[in-house]
Structure formats: C-alpha cells, structure tokens
Amino acid sequence: MKVLFYTREFPPYVYGGAGVHVEYLADELSKLMQVDVRCFGDQDQKNGNLTVKGFPYDNPIFNDSNSQLKAVFQTLSTCVQMNAEDSGADIVHCHTWYAQFAGIIAKLCYGIPLVITTHSLEPLRPWKREQLGRGYDASSWVEKTAIEMADAIIAVSKETKDDVLKHFNVDESKVKVIYNGINLQQYNITSDTSTLDEYGIDKTKPFVLFVGRITRQKGIIHLVNAIKYIDSETQIVLCAGAPDTPDIAKEMEDSVKEVKKTRNNVIWIDKMLDKKEVIQLYSHADVFCCPSIYEPFGIINIEAMACETAVVASAVGGIKEVVVQGETGILVPLEQQTSAPFEPVNPDKFSQDLANGINKLIDNKDLRDKMSKNGRKRVEDYFDWIAIAKQVKDLYKSLI
C-alpha cells in the first residue's frame, strides 16, 4: 500500500500541532507502507519507505497581491503544483485546510480515495478573519468541500467528531476518532538544564510554562492576564512565537510589558524552540498551562504529561479527553460566548481560575508528583504512535 500525504508543515518547517502530528505519523506509517509526503517548502529526501518533497510557497507572482489574500493565493497555487505529477498512491491523506485543495484535485483527477484529518475546523476559528480577511471565506469553502467529499474523516477527539457532524453534511459512518500521539522515547523527562540557563530561568524557584503560538485560539493573552493572580515567587515562562497577525503580536507585547512593571520573573522566549529545548522546559516546569479557547486535541498537553509535568488546562474540546481532572491535572471551566468569536464570557474570571489552578499545584508538591506520574502513565497507555499508526492503516485498507 502507498499513501500520499498533503501537508503545509513538515520538518524542518513545523510551527504547530498539525505539523508535529504529520511528522510522527508519517514516520510510523513508513514502517508499515510506502509514504509519499508532499509539503510546502524545499525538502527533498528519501529514507526507506518515506519520501518527502517540498513545493515552493513564496511565488513572486503574488508579491503585489492584497496582504490578507496573498497567503490564500499562494496556498492554492502550491496545492496545484503538488498534483503536477501522479504519485501512484492508493490513498491521499490531507492535513489542515492549507493542503485540502490538493486533496480535492487528487481525488477528482486521479480517482484516489480521500482521507481528511480534522486538526481544527474553520467555523470554530472565526478569529482567522483577522489574519485572512475575505480569504477566510475561501479557506472555509476549501475545508467544507474537502470534508464533505472525503471518503473518510479522522477526528482527533470525540468532541471534534461531534463538531464535524454539527457543521458539515457528512455521514456519521465516515467519521472515525483516532487520537493524536507522541514518541514516548523522545518525549521523556531529562536532567539537562542548558536551556533554562540560556534563558535565565532560576532553577531554585518554581515555574509555570506555556508553549505555543501567539493566536486567539491558544488563549495566551488570558494566561498573561492571569499572572497578576499567580504567586509572586512563581516564575512565568512563555515559550511563544509565530503570531498570527501584527495586531495580536502588539497585544502580546503590550500585555507582557505591563505585567513586567510589577514583577521581574516573567520570561518570554519569543520564538519556537527545537524539541530538545522544549523537552527541557517541560521536564523542569512545575506546572504546564494550556489556556486554549478552542482545542480539538492539544498535543502540547501530552508532550508535557510525557515529561512528567502536571497540567492546568481549559476544559474545552479534546483537552477533556486528554487531561483527567484531579488525576493528571486541573481542568478550568470556560464559559464561552455562544457566537463568534467564542471568547470567554468573563475573561477576568477565566484568568483568575487559571491562576487558582496553578497556585494550587505550586503549593502542593505531593499532588504535583502524583499528577506527573499519572500523566506519564496515561500517555503510555493511550497516546503511543505505534498503536495509532495501525488504526490509520486499517482505515486506509477499508477504503481500497
């Protein structure tokens, strides 16, 4: 069997959870079948059953395009280029709307069964209009078309499956829940502290960690607003880069600058670190905080749990299927607006509740230790890529 992956992200160009998912799933599936990855970039490699080919994204023909629409035009153009050569694959598998137009073309022009993994859903990310303008209408159309014509849809959580059935016209029998996974050999607790030393993190004081992009979805502004309620001896380490828009970048800068007026233990690492560096941060953090307002799964939580770190996370989406309340972490209720942009009804209360959860764990080492051990075991039991790849292979076989 041969599968063709279409994806925007693939190493070395990974900036989000979908890219992490594709990297590890492709590697594990290549032990079971041929995997042809076509992605945005300049990659060109072959390793056993795994072939990776990058396609140019920054086409100069779009240099004078509307700034918000440029990304959409570039995306659609790259998706066409990725289909120029027949792959000879039995299945085409797409990840995120950025690659779904390529899947639409492959299914129509080459007659290949189409599988879509729903890492997120455009109807639940209305803030993307800030980034894409009217291009958000185009991305929403691509996603809706791809999902509704797919032969199978993989939902990364049960709640994501419910969202797919609510927002799209698809037969429930086509939607299968297969969780995200993690490489348990790679994501493991480490004693190395060089990254902490590099960024001035005091190893004698506790710290709470955030890892993620600066987006509305990840809720980082709510964590920054929670800092004033967090115990003053607790360091705040924000490993946060790749802002969606200049506006949210400015909001983040202003918010961090304001909070630094009253405390000097807020450390903002404003770039995306490599895996070894992030694993160090996970391993030595006392608490990991995931304040997302929308999260179909939340790979960052299982990364933290695999490194034996207790989690405080918002009780939204797939997070509720990953973090077990009182056992591997604390889930913070989030009452959201019922219509776009789905922000908290009471943002300050949400920030206070995040801080209360963090303070509770910082003050209780026995509880933290219990959660850290339970978290590692839960990841080992439910989120191993080896088992997940076999589930994906079985789905492919059912479509051929």
Q: What is the pLDDT of residues 67-89, one digit of tens each?
A: 999 999 999 999 999 999 999 99
Domains and CATH numbers, the chain: 2-181+384-399 (3.40.50.2000), 194-382 (3.40.50.2000)
pLDDT at 260 over 90: yes
Confidence band of 249 (pLDDT split at 50, 70, 90): very high
Q: What is the 3-state secondary structure (H, E, C) of 154-174?
A: EECCHHHHHHHHHHCCCCHHH
pLDDT at 340 over 80: no
Count CB-CB contacts under 10 A for residue 205: 11
The whole-chain average pLDDT of the chain stands at 95
> What's the pLDDT at 85?
94
pLDDT at 341 over 90: no
Q: What is the pLDDT of residues 141-190, one digit of tens each?
A: 999 999 999 999 999 999 999 999 999 999 999 999 999 999 999 999 99
> What's the pLDDT at 30?
98
42: amino acid identity, one letter: D
Sequence-separated (6 or more) residues with CB below 8 Å from residue 334:
293, 314, 315, 316, 344, 350
pLDDT at 109 over 90: yes
Q: What is the pLDDT of residues 186-239, one digit of tens each?
A: 999 999 999 999 999 999 999 999 999 999 999 999 999 999 999 999 999 999
